Structure 1
Amino acid sequence: MLDDRYSLAFRLYPYARSTEQDGDAPARHPVVVLGGGPVGIATALDLGLQGVPVVVLDDHEGVGQGSRAICFAKRTLEICDRLGAGAEMLEAGVVWNLGKVFHAERKVFEFNLLPEAGHRFPAFINLQQPHFERLLVERVRAAQAAGAPIEIRGRNRVDAVDVHEDHVLLDVMTPEGPYRIAADWVIGADGAGSPLRKRMGLDFEGRVFKDSFLIADIRMNAEFPTERWFWFEPPFKSSGASCLLHKQPEGIWRVDFQIGWDVDREEELKEKNIRARLDAMLGADVDYEIVWSSIYTFQCRRMKRFRHGRVLFAGDAAHQVSPFGARGANSGIQDADNIGWKLGLVVQGKAPERLLDTYCAERCHGADENILNSTRSTDFITPKSAVSHLFRNAVLDLARDHAFARPFVNSGRLSVPCVYDDGPLNGPDALPGGPARTRPGAPCPDAPVGEGYLLGRLGGGFTLLTLDADAPDQVEADGIVASRLALSAADDPSGALAERYLGAAGAAVYLIRPDQHVAARWAAFDAGAVETALCHACGKE
């Protein structure tokens, strides 16, 4: 039977007996998602909004305790807004754009992650993962009420997996005993320890760094501003070799202490020892409550491939990065963003199965980018020799007074959208003078358009965005439709749209994928070229 020991922050999907548990033969579903975390729920929501039936199996009944991921990037908010939950997340979170870096007691410099105007969402919000998950599940409930075929089954633990050429069989355990379910496709979003990955005999490749970090979430009234503060060699020496401070909603503050590799984790997690570190940092007269604590190790690893026949892996089940830089949950949501529309087209018979191989290609590229940045951050934060430590501190000293040194300071390169340069679905870049930031493979940057914003008008399918260019209202190629969004200078009073999409060009036509990445662009509409690019973006050529 299932283990009852699990502390919930929100009990969102209590166990309910399914009629399938009474059947003799396993019911077959188009898609089964394993894992009810942010990546699994976002993927299920995306599929359900397309009308694709999807079942989520989670071994618990909701969201676990502890803030865990807290920094959600602008791109993640844009993805969640496409799914219908972005506004609620923005309202619930603590907005921040500014970060400060300190060395000992001195401020080295500060940086603004979103210095330009004309975006609906900020660079980051801080929002505890349980709240992020809750808002996604609430959006699922609203979608279900509107007819989206999404089902979440709590306390349904998968104990065995049998992968066949055209389907997958899953043995599921519930509080009332076992049953079996079949799926055309399975998405493994069951976390870093992924039981699915282990049962399939698959593993990670990469590095585990020999250092430990203590997380403490504390509730307190404090005068710290809503910014990201990072200390190298903080003046409160007993608190560790580095320290990070973030504000969260509800008066909660996140503190990360670098405590070294050769530590007694059980001893470090005792409240008296956590308080000793916090008191050294905050002062003994500051009143606070410890809400949650944990110790983690830096890991930068991924699976060799994210697709294994009928099984696809996403989020922490597919890749792991160190938490400095907020690249874990944010890259997982980009996985969901990539896999959702592709699997939706395949299930509906509108695209060949090989389209799913491009999920592996593009998101392995994204994982490698995250691992590279996280590895560099880790090496800078935790020097491995006296020479590298000397170099690190020399860079910090220079950066205080000289701007040229600041790009070398690495307290965690914060999550940015992945650009699929040379991606397998990219079409032509036939826009002379077009801005580099909107080249094929790039995610569309937002811009004010009339009374709203561009990304909110792109919809959930392929879009033909025209800027001062003629084109038909729709383009269809082999059953795939791209709907036109026609904009002109009159829709762009701030000039941001022209800057981000026209550059030196006088007019432009963009083919934009359902995940709001640019597929191709031209100086003028050409029916044959657009149809070819549309087919190519669906894996048909």
Structure 2
Amino acid sequence: MERDDAVDYQALEFAYRRSADQDAQQAVHHPVVIVGAGPVGLSLAIDLAQQGIASVVLDSGSRLSTGSRAICFAKRTLEIWDRLGCGDRMVAKGVSWNVGKVFFRHEQVYQFDLLPERGHERPAFINLQQYYCEGYLVERARQLPQIDLRWRHKVTGLEQDAGGVRLTVETPEGPYALRADYVAACDGSRSTLRQLLGLESKGRVFRDRFLIADIRVPARIAPAERWFWFDPPFHRNQSVLLHMQPDHVWRVDFQLGWDADPEAAKQPENVIPRVRALLGEAQPFELEWVSVYTFSCLRMEKFRHGRVLFAGDAAHLVSPFGARGANSGVQDAENLAWKLAAVLRGQAPDALLDSYASEREYAADENILNSTRSTDFITPKSEVSRLFRDAVLDLSKTHPFARRLVNSGRLSVPAVLKDSPLNTPDAEPFAAGLVPGAPAADAPVRRLADGRDGWLLRELHGSRFVALLFGGGPDAAAQVAALRAGAQGLAPLAVLVVVPRGAAAPDVADAVVLEDREGLLAQRYDGAPGTVYLLRPDQHVCARWRRPDGPALGRAMRRALCLPGG
């Protein structure tokens, strides 16, 4: 992994640019204003732009993130970024990994594989410094004329009325005003918009501290895996986490304990001995970035407040174990983008945005639960808790049941929105497959029209619903026509017909025929001939049936769009 020398993203600074809005006599109106140009705000802006919705992105700063910060980006996040046009670049630069290893004292107790099955395009995770992610997203945003990205434009005032939101924005040349139909607050854990609305996040602050050290090492010191130590000989009675990053940089997290002095712990004379104890005296290294953090599990009570919608760390905050922060924030953006687009295009009522709040509040609760359990296991606060943890770790060396109790950070997976009001319950039994609310599963496919090999998720589009029809028999044309008739007048619908390997392409118009190259689609979707899945624009299942039915599909789309008759 060589350094990308074309751009030094850590040194990059974005110039303030005066907007024509600052010269207007009245506040200029925009459909969407996004506050915060981090991974969440930029992902939302790109997603909206690809659906034809213009936005203004305001950021009070002029630089990308400092240090690695969020480095673990999950398979689902990579699939979202694939759709946004920058996933390939993220994966090419990042360090891909699937395997994690757990150590107790001086020995490995077990390992796990987060993606043990074949037939997925993306790895379980990549490690990539947050400034690369942000830099690549900025460069993608600049390719899209629907995005107006403004640096050093800080929101200092917010007022709502029935028609929209009025923002006061401070710049180096003075203040100006904007109006928006909707505002997305993606401005981080210290959210200015949350403060302006007099809101707060509530939850739990953990009484422990961790030191992050990004170190540059000329030699590979471990495989591209996640290594977690409990009570290692080089850092007794504490925990340590190790990750490989690009550019010969390694991320090390050292548990310090609550009584540690954060400022003293960051000093090189205190960091270097810890790193030498891990690497050995003979291994050269350089310190690249050091930070100390205290972690919390917090969330706002509601993610929607009128026409202001909160996403990412502005809405919820988790401890870093499990890589749930940035990943869940990008998934917030994906959930919000298609709903904002549908409302602004007049395809859905404003009430659809209430489902953004309810679905992502549910996902945040799931993440906070897992994050809290991880943190309690990693940092026991009583002697009894420590004895239990250490006994579990000892048993895990030889007893598989104990390994299920070890919690070094349950790693991020997308939420299954099983109780969403947008879902249509199954009318017929499914033995397996993806339940309504689950994210779509990937598998290798071949487009029969041109023989091109690819992946299912690459065939799904963020601006349309997708009907996935299994079978492709002599009735395929009539089945496709029925599905299209059901969607008439509601929202764009793409139809994908999936046929078994070696089957002839059915004669269907206005549908893409995909060969199930390895039979994995039929397996993962329980796709008996005639089975239909309806996928939302964010690639979550919202309905499924054992046979095509146009009226049923229409009702399911109405339900997913919060329209009458759903």
The alignment's TM-score, normalised by the length of structure 1, stands at 0.95
Determine the C-alpha separation between the residues in 2 that align with 1:327 and 1:199.
26
Determine the C-alpha separation between the residues in 2 that align with 1:8 and 1:441.
37
Match of 1:454 among 453, 456, 464: 456
Match of 2:327 among 326, 330, 354: 330
Q: Name the SS for the 2:47 alignment partner.
A: helix
Contact 1:434 1:501 survives alignment (8 Å) = no
Determine the C-alpha separation between the residues in 2 that align with 1:140 and 1:472.
36
What CA RMSD, in Å, does the superposition of the two structures yield over aligned residues? Answer: 1.4
Residue 493 (structure 1) aligned with residue 517 (structure 2): yes
Per the alignment, residue 512 of structure 1 pairs with: 535
Q: Name the SS for the 1:119 alignment partner.
A: coil
Per the alignment, residue 479 of structure 1 pairs with: 490
Q: Could you list the per-position Cα deviations for residues 412-462 of structure 1 after superposition, in whole angstroms to 9, with x for gaps in the alignment?
A: 0000011001111001324533424x1100000100111110000112210
Contact 2:65 2:130 survives alignment (8 Å) = no
Residue identity in the other structure for 1:530: L
Q: Name the SS for the 1:9 alignment partner.
A: coil
Match of 2:471 among 468, 473, 479: 468
Per the alignment, residue 3 of structure 1 pairs with: none
Determine the C-alpha separation between the residues in 2 that align with 1:478 and 1:205.
43
Determine the C-alpha separation between the residues in 2 that align with 1:150 and 1:41.
9
Determine the C-alpha separation between the residues in 1 that align with 2:158 and 2:90.
35
Residue 315 (structure 1) aligned with residue 312 (structure 2): yes
The range that moved more, 22-31 or 479-488, is 479-488
Residue 524 (structure 1) aligned with residue 547 (structure 2): yes
**Aligned residue runs from structure 1 range 97-496, under 5 A:** 97-144=98-145, 149-220=146-217, 221-237=219-235, 241-436=238-433, 438-450=434-446, 451-460=453-462, 461-468=464-471, 470=476, 471-472=479-480, 474-475=484-485, 476-490=487-501, 491-496=515-520
Determine the C-alpha separation between the residues in 2 that align with 1:431 and 1:223.
53
Q: Could you list the per-position Cα deviations for residues 278-310 of structure 1 after superposition, in whole angstroms to 9, with x for gaps in the alignment?
A: 111111222111111111112111000000001
Residue identity in the other structure for 1:495: G
Alpha carbons of 1:346 and 1:12: their partners in 2 closer, same or farther (altered >3 Å)? Answer: farther
Per the alignment, residue 4 of structure 2 pairs with: none
Alpha carbons of 1:515 and 1:532: their partners in 2 closer, same or farther (altered >3 Å)? Answer: same
Contact 1:96 1:125 survives alignment (8 Å) = yes
Q: Name the SS for the 2:198 alignment partner.
A: coil
Q: Could you list the per-position Cα deviations for residues 118-145 of structure 1 after superposition, in whole angstroms to 9, with x for gaps in the alignment?
A: 011000000000001111112212233x
Q: Could you list the per-position Cα deviations for residues 458-509 of structure 1 after superposition, in whole angstroms to 9, with x for gaps in the alignment?
A: 1221001101153225342443132211111131231111110126x44310
Determine the C-alpha separation between the residues in 2 that align with 1:434 and 1:481.
30
Contact 1:206 1:300 survives alignment (8 Å) = yes
Match of 2:560 among 534, 537, 540: 537
Paired residues in the alignment total: 528
The alpha carbon displacement at 1:8 in A equals: 7.0
Q: Name the SS for the 2:297 alignment partner.
A: strand
Per the alignment, residue 510 of structure 2 pairs with: none
Determine the C-alpha separation between the residues in 2 that align with 1:212 and 1:288.
24
**Aligned residue runs from structure 1 range 41-60, under 5 A:** 41-60=42-61
Q: Name the SS for the 1:237 alignment partner.
A: coil
Q: Name the SS for the 1:63 alignment partner.
A: coil
Residue identity in the other structure for 1:72: F
Per the alignment, residue 4 of structure 1 pairs with: none
**Aligned residue runs from structure 1 range 14-29, under 5 A:** 14-29=15-30
Determine the C-alpha separation between the residues in 2 that align with 1:251 and 1:263.
29
Q: Name the SS for the 2:159 alignment partner.
A: strand
Contact 2:9 2:135 survives alignment (8 Å) = no
Q: Name the SS for the 1:432 alignment partner.
A: coil
Residue identity in the other structure for 1:162: E
Alpha carbons of 1:44 and 1:110: their partners in 2 closer, same or farther (altered >3 Å)? Answer: same
Contact 1:12 1:137 survives alignment (8 Å) = no
Q: Percent identity?
A: 54
Determine the C-alpha separation between the residues in 1 that align with 2:150 and 2:289.
27
Determine the C-alpha separation between the residues in 2 that align with 1:36 and 1:434.
44
Q: Name the SS for the 2:480 alignment partner.
A: coil
Determine the C-alpha separation between the residues in 1 that align with 2:90 and 2:395.
39
Contact 2:214 2:250 survives alignment (8 Å) = yes
Determine the C-alpha separation between the residues in 1 that align with 2:10 and 2:276.
27
Per the alignment, residue 509 of structure 2 pairs with: none
Q: Name the SS for the 2:16 alignment partner.
A: coil
The range that moved more, 517-526 or 166-175, is 166-175
**Aligned residue runs from structure 1 range 71-90, under 5 A:** 71-90=72-91
Contact 2:188 2:312 survives alignment (8 Å) = yes
Determine the C-alpha separation between the residues in 1 that align with 2:426 and 2:12.
48
**Aligned residue runs from structure 1 range 88-99, under 5 A:** 88-99=89-100
Contact 1:13 1:153 survives alignment (8 Å) = no
Determine the C-alpha separation between the residues in 2 that align with 1:364 and 1:372.
12
Determine the C-alpha separation between the residues in 1 that align with 2:222 and 2:232.
16
The alpha carbon displacement at 1:9 in A equals: 1.7
**Aligned residue runs from structure 1 range 61-76, under 5 A:** 61-76=62-77
Q: Name the SS for the 1:250 alignment partner.
A: coil
Determine the C-alpha separation between the residues in 1 that align with 2:111 and 2:490.
51
Determine the C-alpha separation between the residues in 2 that align with 1:114 and 1:307.
35
Determine the C-alpha separation between the residues in 1 that align with 2:427 and 2:94.
40
Unaligned stretches of 5+ residues in structure 1: 1-6
Q: Name the SS for the 1:198 alignment partner.
A: helix
Q: Name the SS for the 2:115 alignment partner.
A: coil
Determine the C-alpha separation between the residues in 1 that align with 2:198 and 2:87.
37
